[in-house]
Amino acid sequence: MIRICVILSFFLVNPACPLVRAYEINPVSKRWSGQTSGGSISQVVTCNFDEPVYCELFVGESDEVSYRADVYSYPAGVVALATGVNINPKPYTWLRFDLNAVFADSFVKGRRYEFRFTRDDESINYYYQDNNPYPEFGWMKAGSDSTPLKGLACRIYGRMDAVDPRWWGANANLEGLARCGRDTQAIREAVVVGLRWVRDDFASWYELTKDTSHVKETWQKYSNSGLDILGILCYGSHDPAITTRPQDSSVLPEDSGFYPPRNLFADVTSDSNHWARYVQAAMEVLSDVKYWQVWNEPNVSFIYFGNPDPRFYKGDIAGPLGGRCVDTPRERCSLYVRMCRVAKRIADSLAGVDGVERRIVAGCVSGLTTTSRDVGLSQGVEWLGDMLEISGREYGDSDSCFGVISVHPYQSYGRVFDARKFQDDLDTAWAVIQAKSDKDRELWVTEIGWGLYQWSESLQQYKDIRGATPELVANNLCKFYTSSIGSQLDPQGRYDRVFWYELTDRRGVDLRNGGFGLLDSSPGQRRKPASYALEQLIDRLVGRRLNRRLVPDDTRDDEVQVYEFEDTKGRRFWVCWSNDTGSSTDVEIPVRTDELAAESLAYDVEASAFEAKPDLDGWLSLGLNERPVFVWETGPAERPDLVVDSVKVAPEEPEVGKVMMVRAWVRNTGSRATPEGLGTKVDYYLEGDLFGSDQSIQAIRAGETRCFESGWTEVLPDMRGPGLFSAKVNPCQRFVELDVDDNAGYARAEVLQLSEP
């Protein structure tokens, strides 16, 4: 049985307020760095929340003096973004600062912020563990220019925004559906599922030139249904006088429309700047469309970006490609960046006329870590790196070319969602983005899906993919969307929106293709299991706040995935599954009420409900497999809540070679007694090293206080000197509590060397 215990530090303080533990360092640390200047101490953290709520500083010797916490951007923060004040009458305790976020919108995940602490008497009490230049846990005086080497004992909490309805999108491709009269049905089903976004190429260069009124009619169908549009500016023109397709080219694609256009002048007002004229026409015809993607998968040369004739970009125009052929992947990326630049300038010029702010979405790469051999031109992350570097170098700032980056991180068809590949792709993409740009970016997944069929060149028809089933696709959809929302907690990088590929299998007269759709290819476009799974996921998650990912208590943290959310009333909700294919994995998760509801991922109209009842210790046992399950609290939180009120060392000055005892007074502030028969344990530490334990078999009733003792123990030579003693109650979470942040108490004592006789 894997216990999803999530070290104590991950639990929340206020059960009615969904908070994320952004940062925590206990009074014994070997990892974090602190900074100080001018009578303050600071901790720099990387933000993984949407808004800070409060922070705590562990203070040493103290009296009733006012402490202050201010939060600044880092580096070079001048104006405080948030502030909090508190008075500390008690030594060796966690001092809480409720942060008044003056500029809450200034906090961005992935950026660093400095939490700076001061006192009104211009000195500040603090605690460091290793290489402590102040071994007495003493005062850091005003004006000190010392730089402590290790971290502050500090805890920081933030709040996530609720999951937005605009998170959910799909690729629609209505053009083919309109030709067979099935577009209205597809849109109606999209709305029923709960989709809010569609990505479509209905405003392509070819379609816009052929029939502008038809393009507007398609847009109107989306708009009337309340769907927002990510339009695709694609592809090249079919006019041979405009395309860069070499006349004698034998390289696929044969369609001239898949080649970039000629004459990408810096002057976007020129009539012969063909790309600028197309972009302007699309944006003017569809003036309400605010997001425009440039091209699709430009790193796949043999499918989309083609092989532009070098003579069109060989020195006859000014710009980054002047004097060079368009041959290497990097040179073709320069051409792509120029297309983004022209689109962005057109968007900005129109905004000055109609006031509509349009954003350019760029990248749209096929795969991220897939090798360039597989995609045909350039690996996805390589293309993103070139794109960011070229735009910054040639145009001074990549923001002048695009605002959003998008990717297509496909995984193997017919296979279960690969959590490790998901994380590797995400980490690699953000490592490249952060290395090539100092701007905060949105990263969208504009295509992701798992197909059921694959084209066979030998058979000249689609054939089944081995292992692929509609139910597996539904599972993978749930896992990818949930993991993407869960990535919002990762300060190193996250996904910000996901578009499923695709809405329907039906494409005009072609009744069978890759089978990626939420709807099938039948005339009625019946709903497939993935559509019910997505509808259930949207219904359950929208409006709830992401809280945390619960991690197992063993080393295989990728064996199971459990994501926790909370609603506005503080009731928790979990999405859980096992990554171990073909078998069941037993786990336990901490719940704070005996009243729960549970259901499996929906494959049809009705989700399969099942009974979920926790044990007496508050842990809920689940047998997880590949099919995700949902569990949520329906009743009020009723659990014990143990607090260490005080810790005393006896005698006050222990001596090496003699005996000492540590006592801890534990109070139950919860709404329920501790479970009968389990017992309550207290562990005792000196500077983080365990030296004793005590256990009470009897239950501790709500409101009751009980004293625990470490037992008399001999003081060893390596214990001499000043030290921080601590007592931690219920250290292994033998039973679930409402809150475990206050399960530790502290006392300072100096162990003396035994006097000579």
What is the C-alpha separation between 260 and 256, in angstroms, rounded? 9
Boundary residue ending a domain (633, 665, 693): 633
Residue burial 694-726, b: 16+ Cβ < 10 Å; e: rest = bebeebbebeeebebbbeeeebeeebbeebbbb
| pLDDT recorded at residue 15 | 29
577 and 709 fall within a common domain: no
Model pLDDT for residues 65-118, shown as the tens digit of each residue: 788 999 998 877 889 999 999 987 788 888 899 999 888 778 888 888 888 888
219 and 322 fall within a common domain: no
Pairing mode, strands 453-456 and 51-59: unpaired
Structural domain includes residue 284: yes
Euclidean distance between the first and the last CA atom of the chain, given in angstroms as a whole number: 56
615 and 708 fall within a common domain: no
Structural domain includes residue 60: yes
CATH number at residue 594: 2.60.40.1180
| pLDDT recorded at residue 312 | 75
Q: Which amino acid is at 651?
A: P
Structural domain includes residue 477: no
176 and 275 fall within a common domain: no
Structural domain includes residue 567: yes
Boundary residue ending a domain (228, 263, 283): 228
| pLDDT recorded at residue 512 | 58
Cα 499 to Cα 382, 433, 480: the distances in Å are 22, 21, 11
215 and 173 fall within a common domain: yes
Contacts of 702 (CB under 8 A, 6+ apart): 640, 668, 669, 670, 671, 672, 673
What is the C-alpha separation between 340 and 401, in angstroms, rounded? 5
326 and 352 fall within a common domain: yes
Number of domains into which the chain is organized: 5
Model pLDDT for residues 258-269, shown as the tens digit of each residue: 788 888 888 899
Contacts of 732 (CB under 8 A, 6+ apart): 5, 681
Structural domain includes residue 712: yes
pLDDT less than 70: residues of the chain:
1-39, 61-63, 121-152, 176, 178-181, 247-254, 256, 302-304, 306, 310, 314-325, 372-375, 508-512, 553-557, 755-757
96 and 196 fall within a common domain: no
What is the C-alpha separation between 631 and 601, in angstroms, rounded? 11
140 and 75 fall within a common domain: yes
Boundary residue ending a domain (380, 403, 426): 403
What is the C-alpha separation between 212 and 595, in angstroms, rounded? 57
Q: Does the bond joining 651 to the residue before it have cis omega, within 30 degrees of 0? A: yes
Of 732, 709, 569, 581, nearest in space to 647 by CA: 709
Structural domain includes residue 443: no
Neighbours of 679 (CB within 10 A): 15
Structural domain includes residue 756: no
| pLDDT recorded at residue 442 | 92
647 and 693 fall within a common domain: yes
238 and 317 fall within a common domain: yes
| pLDDT recorded at residue 503 | 95
Residue burial 610-625, b: 16+ Cβ < 10 Å; e: rest = eebebeebbbbebebb
| pLDDT recorded at residue 490 | 84
Structural domain includes residue 539: no
Domain limits for position 592: 545-633
| pLDDT recorded at residue 513 | 75
274 and 330 fall within a common domain: yes
What is the C-alpha separation between 646 and 648, in angstroms, rounded? 7
178 and 142 fall within a common domain: no
| pLDDT recorded at residue 58 | 81
